[in-house]
Amino acid sequence: MCECGATDHGELVHYTPEQIEAAGWLPFSARTLRDKASARVFPHSKAGGRITFLLRHIREIAAMHEVRPASERRRPA
């Protein structure tokens, strides 16, 4: 464990939009990732003045696009 509290150093790695596209982790092009991050639609990091993504950002973006079954939806009271 590092002093920052992270248990896995992989959680600290910054991935470029191109790396995410090449790995196929999200169904978006590098251009779309960069555009949506710039528009503040997608969470991201701007460390060093470049748009990058941590694993938690990638997971959050994936979760943003989940669709739950209708049976799990709440019914109005």
**Number of domains within the chain:** 1
- Residue 1 within any structural domain of the chain: no
What Å distances lie between residue 55 and 5, 10, 25, CA to CA? 16, 8, 10
Look at residue 75 and tell me if it is in a domain: no
Looking at the whole model, is its pTM more than 0.85? Answer: no
The answer to whether position 41 is within a domain reads: yes
Which residue has 């596209």 as its token pair? Answer: 21
Do the domain assignments include residue 28?
yes
15-62 per-position pLDDT tens digit: 999 999 999 999 999 999 999 999 999 999 998 899 999 999 999 999
Can you give the residue range of the structural domain that contains 43? Answer: 9-63
Could you tell me if residue 4 is inside a domain?
Answer: no
